[in-house]
Chain A
């Protein structure tokens, strides 16, 4: 286990590393107004043509627009590249460092990810507020409780998402260069994590199954809380299931890691 002072040092060092890219991140975020406008026009048109589209799709027009605006924003806050990095490290033998130093690979990268997300959050807070304010006519204003629960669900989804993609990257121990497998898996996940469209547009069967899978908790669930589409009961259950999945993936990742390392030790990097 890593000591608190090590975690603190990794965290602050990553904050400094992130600060180098600060301007780029903020400017990139501001350009979100382009896709946001696109969604506003698109959904206004859809809802205009078919007057009762709202009831058919299960969302009001502001809810629908907010859903897509938030997926764009949350992807910046939650998305990771750890699977690519890890796969690369396994192939290139860059894991050596973590086998020679008393430093946990998962702990190191998890802490870095936490710091990265934290700094992104602080940089993006103002631009996000500005964007939400500019488009306030078109989007849902959440209740304070929903906003707080959304924040909590998003925190959990940052952890869950990291562990899922970390596990994906570990496949490199068995498959070597796994770019295609990872791309396929990522595409599959994006279909059922709610980042492309609300899952309520899918057949009921898939929705029901998806409730017990980890993926919808990455984007779909937190955003539904924000737009007020979940009930207190479903929120409670959802948060519980999400937490269970975090524990499951943590255990899975530990097992994959130690098995993978044995293989790595036997085959060489």
Chain B
């Protein structure tokens, strides 16, 4: 069964443009110029019920705009979209009761009260029967291991704990489709793992259809078989993640700051140089060669070292550059 059917969805914004400076500010009072921004352009795809799909793209690629249209916040400029048979932006109650949108950077809980109070309000808003409410809540609280935090005021929770509560609040009414916008942003690893596990469980046990955006490649790799890559509002790729990212799971980036210049050849002997800005160098190194690479760095005039996962932006850039991506409409 198709849960989400998007056809030729397009969203153009008018954004006011303003030159820098005071004079320009005064001018803009009298004649405001607008620039048309093409946030999403002729996007089409179908998502089956029970799928988890990753929406990938760099900042400003149109991910959030897409999510906002799918959840009914924005009207498209043209095109059609059906989510569970509803047109999202008509915002019918039955539609709203069967979806959830969880944004990593927004707070929807009552700040001074324990999260349990916010859950009780959601119970009323969504008309959740007592039995379902307790069952679902207990189940989720167990998976995320937050039972002891239910009575702590939200303001006293850590970011990770708060996000877990946000996610419980979002899943409480057993939505059939859930939009997760950066659910793990800024969280520590333990919380990231816990939330990832939770999403996987909800998907497999309750067949929840999920669209996920994330800055962490690990989230996407752990959860999504299928990804849709967007760039500048258009769809670049739609298909198996394994086709685009097979060789990214086992490499890491080592960023180093050098005290003085070092020859390229020396750096290349440690790992593949993927970025160089005079004294700032980024190396790509296979995961199992990290210890040796670190050892070799010891002989260089290194001021600072940072090891990180490959950011999604780079994955996309590289896949684009390598021509792996085919545009399939």
Contacts and interface: CB of A to CB of B under 8 A. Distances in A.
A and B are partners in one complex rather than unrelated chains: yes
Contact of B96 (A3, A8, A96, A100): A100
A99 B72 contact: yes
A20 B121 CA distance: 18
Interface stretch (B102-110, B189-197, B248-256, B301-309): B102-110
A28 interface: no
A99 B112 contact: no
Interface residues of B, number: 36
A101 interface: yes
B91 A13 contact: no
Interface of B is mostly: mixed
Contacts of A262: 75
B120 A9 contact: yes
Contact of A267 (B14, B123, B153): B14
Contacts of A232: none
A101 B100 CA distance: 8
B121 A9 contact: yes
A103 B73 CA distance: 14
Contacts of A6: 121, 124-125
Interface in B119-135: 120-121, 123-127
Contacts of A17: 110-113
B101 A3 contact: no
Interface string A1-41: 00101101110010011001100000000000000000000
For A16, A17, A102, the residue with the greatest tally of chain B CB atoms inside 10 Å of its CB is A102
Contacts of B110: 13, 17
Interface in B124-152: 124-127
A94 B73 CA distance: 11
Contacts, number: 74
A22 to B, nearest CB: 11
A203 interface: no
Bin the interface of chain A by size: 20 to 34
A3 B127 contact: yes
Contact of A13 (B71, B103, B121): B121
Interface in A170-223: none
Contacts of A267: 13-14
Given A13-B113, A265-B75, A100 B121 contact: no
B103 A268 contact: no
A97 B73 CA distance: 9
B96 A101 contact: yes
B215 to A, nearest CB: 19
Interface string B77-115: 000000000000101010011011101001010111100
A58 interface: no
A266 interface: yes
Nearest to B126: A102
A269 interface: yes
A259 to B, nearest CB: 13
Interface string A232-269: 00000000000000000000000000000010011111
B328 to A, nearest CB: 28
B65 interface: yes
B74 interface: yes
B112 A266 contact: no
Contacts of B39: 268
A265 B69 CA distance: 9
A100 B71 contact: yes
B5 interface: no
For B97, B108, B111, the residue with the greatest tally of chain A CB atoms inside 10 Å of its CB is B108
Contacts of A10: 121, 124
Given A5-B124, A102-B93, A94 B74 contact: no
Nearest to A14: B110
Contacts of A94: 106
Contacts of B153: 20
Given A6-B125, A97-B108, A100-B73, 19 more contacts: A6-B124, A13-B113, A13-B121, A16-B117, A17-B112, A20-B112, A20-B153, A96-B68, A96-B101, A100-B72, A100-B96, A100-B100, A100-B101, A262-B75, A265-B74, A265-B75, A268-B39, A268-B65, A269-B68
Top 6 closest pairs, chain A to chain B, by CB: A265-B75, A6-B124, A102-B96, A9-B124, A20-B112, A102-B93
Interface of A: 3, 5-6, 8-10, 13, 16-17, 20-21, 94, 96-97, 99-103, 262, 265-269
6 contacts: A13-B110, A96-B68, A100-B72, A102-B126, A268-B11, A269-B68
